[in-house]
Each structure stands twice: as structure tokens, then as C-alpha cells.
Structure 1
């Protein structure tokens, strides 16, 4: 009888030990959860401002309620739709060039024979990521300067062209902005792809060589299929930010002469929200922006599951 009791208590003891281990893991996770709650969930209370005529002196509790007035205002504003169009265009370019560039770069770098040169190139490609946009914008303005920039000097020496005002030309600004973003982010964004490629079983490549597959076919039938899960994951995350734009990137690279093609939601919110103190209007815009991003993420996740059977959840 005691042996039977002892046997019956073993699962209970095992469960208690597991509970203690899990509890210690929860304790380690607790600070991150608290920070997430304090800095990401508590501020959601401020969304109420979008339904008010917010006054700094009255606060959220004392400001007058105006319902959907702020939403109606910016949805019927031609300026808002212009900056929404610009935001979508820039994100579309970022997906075409900025999202695909790290994939291509990682694959090409993996094909290098020299391991030493490969590591050096990877390390050098990471460096632009650690430069702040203030530094990057300063470099861009110096290189593209119409008076002493090296690009204009080279064009003048080779073709005798007149100085080109790159950063103030609406026709050139978008391409320059996207090119700078690709240069800055490609190396860093390729890290996950490098790790994925490094984890591919080398026996697959050896079997492909025996079957007569050249390097290009190995990329098409082995490397790319193995990269699909991480590509899908990062693409879904990219889709969720299609209605957003990096503030520092656009604020530092744009100027009033290119507002028609370069002004995006983040810079627009800064000007009318902080400079003109229209807090309720900018909160309403931010709320709609977040809502649209959430809808895009859910829709993209469902489409991805149907097409390739992969998703975030």
C-alpha cells in the first residue's frame, strides 16, 4: 500500500518541480512584461484625446468631447490624402527595393568562395545601420551638394553638366530617399538571412552537385525554399508598417521644396501636432494609422497561410 501511494505521488512531485522552474522563468520575464505594460499599454488611454477637443490645461478628464469631428476633418482634408499617398508610395518602394535587397545581398554573399572576404564584407555592410540619420543626412547633403558635392563635380568633369539640385528636385527626391534607406539598412536586415543560409544542411548542396545542379539551380531549388519561412515572417511584419514612415529619415532628408512628393504621415503629424498644437487631430490620425496597420497585418497573415501555409500565428 505505501508503495502504491508513493507511486501515485510521483507525478504530483514532478509537476511541482516543473511549476517551480516555470515560476522562475516568469520572474525573469516579469520586468519585460511590466515595461511593456507601462510604456505600450497604459499610453493607450491617450487615444481618448482623438474624440476630444483636447486642452493641455484641462487634461483628458476635463476636455470637451467632440465625437468623430477630428476623424471627419482629416478624412475630408486633401492634404491628408496627399501625405497618405506619399507614405504608401515610399513603403511600396521600400518593399520592392528595401525588402528584396537584403535577400539578394545575403544570397550573393553566400556564394563567395573566400570565407575571410565574406566575413569582412558582411561586417562592413552592417556599419551604415549604426550611423544615425543625422549623420547619414549630412553625408547625403555633402555628396549631393550642387556647389561642392562629389557627384556634381564628377558629372561636370565627365559630361560638362550644370549643377543639379538633387535634394530639392521633386522628380529625384523619392529615388534618392529610397536609395539612401537601402544603403543604410541592407546589411543589417540581411543578418537573419545569413543565419538562415548558414543553417541549411550542406548535404543538400552536395546531393544537388552530384545530380548536376549548377550554382544558380542550387539557389533556386535549395537556398530560396529554405529561406521562405523567414522571408514570409519579415514580409508580414513589413506589411504591418505600410501606413507608417520613419520620422527621422524623412524629417532630416526632406525640405519644403519637396513636400508635395516627400511629406509623409509622421512629418505631417509633427508639424500640425507639436508645432501647431493640434493634439486631438494628430491623435486621431495616429489611431487610424495603427488600426489600418493592424488590419493589414491580419489580412496579410491570412493570405500567407492560404498561399504558403505560413504565418505569424
Structure 2
């Protein structure tokens, strides 16, 4: 009895189609993410046309009057424009300056730990804040800084210092925001660098031991240079999000008394668009914010490619 003949699936002759066919299972795995970004990131970009129209909910998008750059001109001539730009930039800049190196330092220190139990405990404790929502983080900050029952003011009271209303003083807001952001993202940000450290060739450390190099010298000469490409890529992404500060935590922490240092583009857009119903004006502000972020990430990527030959594209 002859054995059954196995029929192979026909492979498309076109090169592009054949490549897609060979990667069909990978594409299938990737499809949920592709569908998500298509539905919730790219299709909503069609709504940016609202920024160039005098949008009226009852008349609809197509029937609303086209006004061109009217709302951009209104925003640029608004007295709040420069304070909003300054506050957004400074919050992002301080978060970048103080928050970006912190996970790198933590990852390098954890990499040098030899006690595995202590290392896992430190990793677990440092990761936990990342899984708390901004509402919980803001609530903890409010409780800790409360002038009556807060831990910080109770500690100041031991030294006979009068209670300080931290969240009502504009000068304290940026420090509170940046410090809480570092605490919240420190452990989670270190994961990427710890993963990058595992790719470094162990023979480099063995050669350094033979040359008599200590831990600090190996950290500075081997570990840190070994993760520089990852640092550059993440730095580019962080610079690109300099003006893309999420408004959730700012919205939960700021008050009208701290608007001078806390009010940023995203919170102003929220108040203008959702609370006041000025959708065209809010969309124009959001579009300006997005274009600014794109310019920053493009320039930082260009500089990184020229200086270190490492970039996103």
C-alpha cells in the first residue's frame, strides 16, 4: 500500500507576500497590539482637524466652520502661554535630570550585590510603587504632607518647627512632584538596565579581576559602558516625552494656589476642553504639544546618531 502523499501549502511567489506568509504566526501574535494602536492611537488622529474648525457638537464635524489657525493664534497670544510652557518644561526637565539617572544607579548597585536574598528583597520593594495608581500615590503624598496628621510635619514638630502647608506653597510643588516620580518609577526603570547588564560578556570581568581592578573600577569601565546603547535609546524617548507629562498626578496634587508652578499644558487642556467645552481650542493646544514632542525626539535622535552612532532610527 502506497504511503499518502503530503501536500505542501502553496507559498506565494511574490517576495513581499512570501515574507509575510513565513511570518504569519508572528503577525498573528502581534495583531492584538496592532489593532489596539490602530483603533486608539492612529484613528483618533483624524480628530485633529477639530483644531482648525470652530467645532460645534450639534452641527457636527463636517458642518462646523473652518477657521484655520485661529485657535493657535489665540493660544500663542494668551498671557498663560509662557507660564504653561515654562511649567511643563521645568517639570519634565527636572524629572529627566533627577529621575533618569536614578534607575541606572540602582541597577548598577544591585548588579554588584552578592547576597541574592537581600537583592530580591530590594528589587521587590523598589518595584512595588510602580504598581500603585496615581490616585493612591497622590493620596499617600497628601497624607504624608498633611499639616495636622502628616508624618513629615510630625517629624518637624519634634524640632519645634511650625507645620508647613506643603501642597499650598507653589515653591514646593515641583520638588514634591519630581521626588514622588523618582520613588514611583525607580525600581521599574531599573529592570531594563539589569537586563542589559546580563548581556555583558563575563570574560571582561574576569580579565579585569586578573588586572587587579576593584568593583568600582569594573562598574565604571565595564558595566556602565556596556549599557550605554540602552541608556541612549531610553534618553531619546525621555527627551521626546519632555512636554508629554501626564496630567493625572498633577491634577490630583495641584490647587489654584499652586497654579503658578503646577499648571501645565495637559491640565490646562483638560480644563479648557472638558470642563469648559471648548474642544477646538483644547485640540489646538494638544496638537501643539504633540508637534513639540516630535521635534524634541527627532533632534535628540539626530544628535545621538551623530555623537554615539546609536539611535532609534
The answer to whether TM tops 0.5 is yes
Whether contact under 8 Å (2:12, 2:21) holds in the other structure is no
Q: CA deviation at 1:298?
A: 1.1
2-structure distance, mates of 1:19, 1:142: 55
Matches within 5 A, 1:264-279: 264-279=264-279
Inter-CA distance 89–18: structure 2 relative to 1 (3 Å threshold): closer
Q: CA deviation at 1:26?
A: 2.9
Inter-CA distance 204–292: structure 2 relative to 1 (3 Å threshold): same
In the alignment, what sits opposite 2:240? 240
2-structure distance, mates of 1:238, 1:261: 21
Inter-CA distance 31–111: structure 2 relative to 1 (3 Å threshold): closer
Coordinate RMSD, CA, aligned: 1.8
Whether contact under 8 Å (2:54, 2:64) holds in the other structure is yes
2-structure distance, mates of 1:12, 1:262: 58
In the alignment, what sits opposite 2:216? 216
2-structure distance, mates of 1:80, 1:107: 41
Q: CA deviation at 1:57?
A: 0.8
In the alignment, what sits opposite 1:106? 107
Q: What secondary structure sits across from 1:56 in the alignment?
A: coil
2-structure distance, mates of 1:17, 1:66: 48
Q: Output the TM-score relative to the length of structure 1.
A: 0.92
Whether contact under 8 Å (2:240, 2:296) holds in the other structure is yes
Q: Mean Cα displacement is larger for which, 226-235 or 26-35?
A: 26-35
Q: What secondary structure sits across from 1:60 in the alignment?
A: coil
In the alignment, what sits opposite 2:207? 207
Matches within 5 A, 1:33-72: 33-72=34-73
Q: How many residues align?
A: 301
Q: Any unmatched runs of 5+ in structure 1?
A: 1-10
Q: CA deviation at 1:22?
A: 2.2
Q: What secondary structure sits across from 1:184 in the alignment?
A: helix
Inter-CA distance 141–18: structure 2 relative to 1 (3 Å threshold): closer
Whether contact under 8 Å (2:148, 2:163) holds in the other structure is yes
1-structure distance, mates of 2:160, 2:20: 76
1-structure distance, mates of 2:108, 2:20: 44
Q: CA deviation at 1:85?
A: 0.5
Whether contact under 8 Å (2:145, 2:153) holds in the other structure is yes
1-structure distance, mates of 2:296, 2:275: 30
Inter-CA distance 160–115: structure 2 relative to 1 (3 Å threshold): same
Matches within 5 A, 1:1-313: 20-157=21-158, 159-313=159-313
Inter-CA distance 19–45: structure 2 relative to 1 (3 Å threshold): closer
Whether contact under 8 Å (2:50, 2:280) holds in the other structure is yes
Per-residue CA distance 1:142-199 (angstroms, 9 max, x = gap): 1111111111111111x10111111111121211111011100111111101111122
Whether contact under 8 Å (2:135, 2:252) holds in the other structure is yes
Inter-CA distance 112–28: structure 2 relative to 1 (3 Å threshold): closer
2-structure distance, mates of 1:112, 1:22: 41
Runs of 4+ in 1 over 4 A off after TM superposition: 15-19
Q: Output the TM-score relative to the length of structure 2.
A: 0.92
